Structure 1
Amino acid sequence: MNRLAMSRAGAALLRALLARALVNRDRILLTHYRSTDWQSLTFVGERHEMQFRIPGPGANEIFKMMTSDLSDSEFAIPGQLVADVLVYGKPSHERDGSLSFAIEALTIEN
């Protein structure tokens, strides 16, 4: 199994997103992760891009639980503020019954 390199902020964000789904973590696969440094005049953080795949039965329900009201959610990530988070694009339904989707987020050090 290959592991994707991930920052502390990215790993904490991933754990928080997976926890929203209320299912075993092995039901949601992280297929791609990329993080880039971000800064403004007064803030420092990271922009995260995550792609997921939810296999088989119940994929739509798991997706809804994980992403419902996502942009209005607050995350408890030590040392980080999630300034922006959203589902990027539309989820795609695959032939095997799985569902693929992407989430983008901005975390800021606090």
Structure 2
Amino acid sequence: MRADPIDLSTATRTGRRSTGERLREAVLALAGGHGDVLLHSETAWASITFTGTRHRLRIAFEGDEAVAGGEELVAALPEHEFAIPRQLVADAAVCGVESRLVPEVRMVVECELLLLEDA
């Protein structure tokens, strides 16, 4: 099943945030509020007993302070207990990290999270 990227520029701005928006906010909070989400894809997921969504995020951190936040995210993500209403984060993993030092310090983190619907 192919993941459809979420267009971050046209996310609905009603009073209610989507699960994807809540997840992005929680992941960026784990990075100390640093980082720019370059890509967020969401794919439906199901097993015999559970339904949910698999999310893949690609986040860029530019500058020393932001990269430090990205390093915090990489260290904390796999064991972090998220509090997203009606969702259980069943798995969270860092899939890749790209780093460069010149012309400016930059890190790009790719992570994948499996959210299960919590009744």
Give the TM-score category using the shorter length: 0.7 to 0.9
Answer yes or no: is 1:3 the counterpart of 2:9: yes
- Name 2:96's counterpart in structure 1: 89
- Name 2:4's counterpart in structure 1: none
The answer on whether the counterparts of 2:30 and 2:76 sit within 8 Å (CA) in structure 1 is no
**Aligned counterparts of 1:35 and 1:78: Cα–Cα separation in 2:** 17
Answer yes or no: is 1:106 the counterpart of 2:111: no
Task: After TM superposition, give the deviation of residue 63 of structure 1 in Å.
Answer: 1.1
Letter in 2 for 1:68: A
The CA RMSD over aligned residues, in Å, is 2.1
Structure 1 residues without counterparts, runs of 5 or longer:
none
In structure 2, the CA distance between the partners of 1:101 and 1:31, relative to structure 1 (3 Å rule), is same
> Percent identity over the alignment?
32
TM-score w.r.t. length of structure 1:
0.83
**Aligned counterparts of 1:19 and 1:58: Cα–Cα separation in 2:** 14
Give the secondary structure class of the aligned counterpart of 2:29.
helix
**Aligned counterparts of 1:85 and 1:78: Cα–Cα separation in 2:** 17
Answer yes or no: is 1:12 the counterpart of 2:30: no
Aligned residues: 106
